[in-house]
Structure 1
Amino acid sequence: MSLRLTILGCHSATPRINAFPTSQYLEINSRNFLIDCGEGTQRQMRKYKVGFSKIDHIFISHLHGDHYYGLVGLLSTYGILSREKDMHIFGPKGIKKATMQMLKISESHAKFNMVFHELSSNESELIFEDDKVSVRTIPLKHRVYTNGYLFTEKEKPRKLNMLNISGYPEIDRADYLNIKAGKDVVLSSGEIVSNLELTLNPPKPLSFAFCSDTCYKPDIVPIIKNVDLLYHEATFLDDRQGLAKKTKHSTSIEAAKIAKEANVSKLIVGHYSGRYKDISLFKKEAATVFENVDIAETGKVFSVD
């Protein structure tokens, strides 16, 4: 399974007994990322068995409390657990000063190095890349500087076409790695066997886009075009469109419009205002615009094979 998203929290504003602010745990192509860290995140991580030691990269969308106030506590706990690996933290300019000041004042001691990657660009930019995954920012529009994040698998090696390979007895198992890497095979006769004949196309790289918090911003569509999974905030139903505009949030209808315009495979809505007691209404309303929609719920897992 290449992509697995666990919702640790999906409600807006203040935490309540059964409503936790934004935080998500993403597993993609053997990489593990924490996205946003609202109050209570580390409790939710334990409840839903998210491995603390697996996380080396944390992505914070913006510095509003319901997306950030759990970070200092989490980093402090890592110190208590004697973590030694570097922790990379991506977020708006100012996140380093705010975080380190709190840790200093509370005399929290950590042996591990905290590497802050502060963001300030209003253009989409590549901020992380290794041999498995790349991460780009999705510039959003909220009351403070905010980014969403686009996580994309790197293309996997081509698959061996064993049926065709069997037609060339001269090809040895020792050649397989080179073939998977895209190289042609030169036989002893000098004949060149094209790699396209010996391999099959790899699976399409999977992708996940996280967009919270933001008002309706259709210019993000080219950035998230054709993603497999889109999480887009839907703080209000359409009956509160005026309030959404005032607070720079989105409605379920607006989230669905973004999903439809971007031709995403599946939409997840979340970040519900506490005024709504029945969150199923968000799915019902969004589905009038975009059919393949689901609602975020605490502890819910979304997987893409």
Structure 2
Amino acid sequence: MDFELRILGSSSATPSANRHHTAQILTIGNQYHLIDCGEGTQMQLMLYKIKHQRICNIYISHLHGDHYFGLPGLLSTMHLQGRQTPLHLFGPPGLQEILSLQFKYSGTNLNFNLVFHELDTSCHKKIFEDKSITVHTLPMEHRVPCAGFVFREKQKPRPLIKEKLPDFLRPPQLVRLKWGADILDEAGNVLVYNRDVTMEPKRSRSYAYCSDSRYKPELLPYLHNIDLLYHEATFTDELRERADYTFHSTARQAAALALAAEVRHLLIGHFSVRYKDLTPLLEEAREHFAKTDLATEGSIFCVQE
């Protein structure tokens, strides 16, 4: 099953000629999860040939425009192109009111059911679950209520070793074996030990999205051993005071958090437009955490099982 992140936008407050506002697509299996939706997101979706009708959930971290101004346009396009499938939208207080006013004064009545889930941005909380994944919020520290998100695959079934399976096993018993149980007789005696007829399951994967926020080491328990961590890095460390004043982070701080959390791979993004060349940000982060990459437009990051 695919577990792949595509970067649609990497710029902070204002876009530039070659950097767009924040947006990402996380593909898990056959589902698209859109994380933030800055201005121009639907144009980026078209550029990278990502079918927006396959988006199942949209997650908006906070109500600064560079993270949601593209949302009304994207929803309108979905409507105009005849979407029928329900869409789940997760966002902070106020987002539903903003969209309601937008649609009221534009005379828009969506063809599809937009299911809004208001986030409590002050805590770590499960907001979504299906058969494959869970999604939890992360409490960010920003100028307005802001949430990050952690996507985790659930435990996967244990592959059966067919040549070792006894012939008497029935389908329900095979299912139990896949999920780690031994097979017992009516008296409670073990007929088949799970360890004898199954292999270890494939590794469950994870992705964490942290934007926008001051450096916040309180997040470490929620980020420990994450496969892929995106953390905003608006400035280099020489502008640490500026970062703190504007409730943002530096590349060095993002790397320090990744190192302490023992994550496998760090992505930095949300770059200030003052940086025409992003090399100083990347070099600063790699000084402290070698496995760091820039989350720039069009980049794809795959997490292997």
Q: Please give the range of the TM-score, normalised by the shorter of the 2 chains.
A: over 0.9
Per-residue CA deviation, residues 154-188 of structure 1 (Å, 9 max, x unaligned), is: 111111134533xx455578854342133434589
CA distances 1:93-119 after superposition (whole Å, capped 9, x unpaired)? 111001111111112231111111111
Q: Contact 2:183/2:192 (CA < 8 Å) preserved in 1?
A: yes
Cα distance in 2, alignment partners of residues 30 and 203 from structure 1: 18
Between 225-234 and 273-282, report the one with greater CA deviation: 273-282
For 1:241 and 1:92, locate their aligned partners in 2 and report how far apart those are by CA, in whole Å: 27
Instruction: Give the one of 174, 180, 185 matched to 1:182.
Output: 180
Contact 1:135 1:150 in 2 (8 A): yes
- How is 1:34-49 mapped onto 2 (pairs within 5 angstroms)? 34-49=34-49
**1:74, 1:27 → 2: CA distance?**
18
The equivalent residue for 1:33 is 33
1:89-148 deviation digits (Å, cap 9, x = unpaired): 101011100111111111223111111111134111001011111000000001110000
TM-score by length of structure 1 reads 0.94
What are the residue-to-residue correspondences of 1:160-239 with 2, within 5 Å? 160-162=160-162, 164-165=164-165, 168-171=166-169, 176-185=174-183, 192-239=191-238
Q: Which residue of 2 aligns with 1:253?
A: 252
Alignment partners' CA distance in 1, 2:42 and 2:89: 16
Q: Deviations over 1:49-88 (max 9, x none)?
A: 1121211210000000000000000011111011111111
Return the offset for 1:242. Answer: 1.1
Once the 2 structures are TM-superposed, how far is the Cα of residue 302 of structure 1 from its aligned partner? 0.4
Secondary structure of the 2:37 match is coil
Q: Unaligned regions of 5+ residues in structure 2, if any?
A: none
SS in 2 for 1:97: helix
- Inter-partner Cα distance in structure 2 for 1:172 and 1:75: 48
Equivalent in the alignment of 1:266? 265
The separation in 1 between residues aligned to 2:53 and 2:70, in whole angstroms, is 17
1:240 and 2:242 correspond: no
- Per-residue CA deviation, residues 23-64 of structure 1 (Å, 9 max, x unaligned), is 000012443200000000000001111121211210000000
**TM-score if structure 2 supplies the norm length?**
0.94
Is the Cα contact below 8 Å between 2:236 and 2:251 reproduced in 1? yes
Provide runs of 4+ in structure 1 moved above 6 Å. Answer: none
- Aligned-CA RMSD value: 1.9
Could you report, residue by residue, the CA deviation over 1:218-243 in whole angstroms, capped at 9, with x for unpaired residues? 10110111100000000001111111
> In the alignment, is the contact (CA less than 8 A) between 1:30 and 1:132 conserved in 2?
no
Q: CA deviation at 1:280?
A: 2.1
SS of alignment partner, residue 209 of structure 1: strand
1:26, 1:197 → 2: CA distance?
Answer: 36
Contact 1:29/1:153 (8 A) holds in 2: no
- Distance between the aligned counterparts of 1:249 and 1:210, measured in 2? 14
In structure 1, the residue matched to 2:96 is: 96
Q: 1:88 to 1:173 in 2, by over 3 A?
A: closer
SS at match of 2:66: helix
Q: Per-residue deviation at 1:277?
A: 1.2
* Aligned position for 1:303: 302
Contact 1:133–1:152 (CA under 8 A) maintained in structure 2: yes
| 2:142 aligned counterpart, secondary structure | coil
Q: Say which SS state the counterpart of residue 287 (structure 2) adopts.
A: coil
Aligned-residue offset at 1:206: 0.3
Of residues 276-285 and 55-64 in structure 1, the stretch that sits farther from structure 2 once superposed is 276-285
**CA, structure 1 residues 198+15, in 2 after alignment: closer, same or farther (shift >3 Å)?**
same
Query: 57-66 or 21-30: which moved more?
Result: 21-30
* Matching residue's letter, 1:118: E
* Alignment-derived partner of residue 9 in structure 2: 9
Residue segments in structure 1 that go unaligned for 5+ positions in a row: none
Question: In the aligned structure 2, how far is the partner of 1:143 from the partner of 1:4?
Answer: 30
